Structure 1
Amino acid sequence: MSAAAGAVIREARLADLPAIVGLHAADQGFGQGDAWSPEAEADYRRAFQSLADHPDHVLYVAEDAGEVVGSLLLSFMPGLTGRGALHAVLRSVQVRGDQRSRGVGARMVAAAEAEAARRGARVCELMSNAGRTDAHRFYERLGYAKSHAGFKKRLPAAATFVPG
């Protein structure tokens, strides 16, 4: 999608999947327990294909010298507030540890913001783990403001909803 100072930002391909999962697995202290393994491969492939098939999601990677050094998921959500504003949501932003502070993350975010603007989104938002103070400074440098508190609840795998 764009190139500057080494890394190329482009849409992810299936062949990138082990490296993307590896970025998340290496996220010491903040990871989700991700790890590429034969047992998990089918789940990751299914998730990747679901994202690739859905028009409201774009998975980007930053590639430098043939290696995936970053990834970012851009999702779009329609809303009623803001006169029906389309929201762009940055998710799962990861840059390999040895590539941080080199502009890779900023280029990934800029590519995502350009796509969001192209699609007519009026706001770009993200959530970040409360303990990621370095990431918070990074997002603030890019113009993001701490405007909301986020909450998360893990659901049981077999949760069912009965309307009524």
Structure 2
Amino acid sequence: MNHLVFRTALLADIPAIVALLADDELGSKRENTGTPLDQRYVDAFQSIEADVNQRLVVVVDGTEIIGTLQLSFIPGIARLGSWRGQIEAVRIAAHRRDSGLGHKMFEWAISECKSRGCSLVQLTTDKSRTDAHRFYENLGFKASHEGYKLAL
């Protein structure tokens, strides 16, 4: 893991990112890994790329994309006008799980949030992902809020 590169994703990375997102029980039901690439992914990538408060990131080892996450930097009035860093869509290639890569990814992401002036880092996780919950708690995250979603 000494040769890891964290970089902003390119459009050419999207098929690999979608494959990572689809590589678990929940993601396999939500993502479309077919070819050609679904235009909705291209449209989403272009929106993320155009927004200075969004960053889609890949973790590369050599030429292989082995991880991904998205950072959103959210301004707010609450907490004395604080910025929040939102970490979402964290995925690691199956053959690299349990290797310490997740810790490295979160250390990097939290550092990015600090460098952007965020005073809080938050994330959401599906209630069924109990292993992820333990991982986040071990990193110091607290399950302090109940979240709700409404599918449209």
TM-score, normalised relative to structure 1 = 0.86
Segments of 5+ residues of structure 2 without an aligned counterpart are none
Question: Are residue 86 (structure 1) and residue 78 (structure 2) matched?
Answer: no
Measure the CA separation in 2 of the matches of 1:9 and 1:47: 20
Does the CA-based 8 Å contact 1:19-1:68 persist in structure 2? Answer: yes
Amino acid at match of 2:107: A
Structure 1 segments, 4+ long, off by >4 Å, are none
* Local SS of the residue matching 2:118: coil
Segments of 5+ residues of structure 1 without an aligned counterpart are 156-164
Q: Percent identity?
A: 37
Aligned to 2:44: 47
Q: What is the aligned length?
A: 152
Amino acid at match of 2:72: S
TM-score, normalised relative to structure 2 = 0.92
Aligned to 2:54: 57
Provide Cα deviations, 1:94-135, integer angstroms capped at 9, x if missing partner: 111221111212112111111111111000000000111111
Indicate how the Cα distance of structure 1 residues 150 and 81 shifts in structure 2: closer, same or farther if over 3 A, else same. Answer: same
Indicate how the Cα distance of structure 1 residues 30 and 49 shifts in structure 2: closer, same or farther if over 3 A, else same. Answer: closer
Aligned to 1:160: none
Measure the CA separation in 2 of the matches of 1:30 and 1:148: 24
Indicate how the Cα distance of structure 1 residues 110 and 97 shifts in structure 2: closer, same or farther if over 3 A, else same. Answer: same
Question: Are residue 107 (structure 1) and residue 141 (structure 2) matched?
Answer: no
Provide Cα deviations, 1:33-60, integer angstroms capped at 9, x if missing partner: 2122346532111111110110000111
Cα RMSD after superposing both structures:
1.6
Greater C-alpha Rg: 1
Measure the CA separation in 2 of the matches of 1:64 and 1:48: 22
* Local SS of the residue matching 2:91: strand
Aligned to 1:76: 73
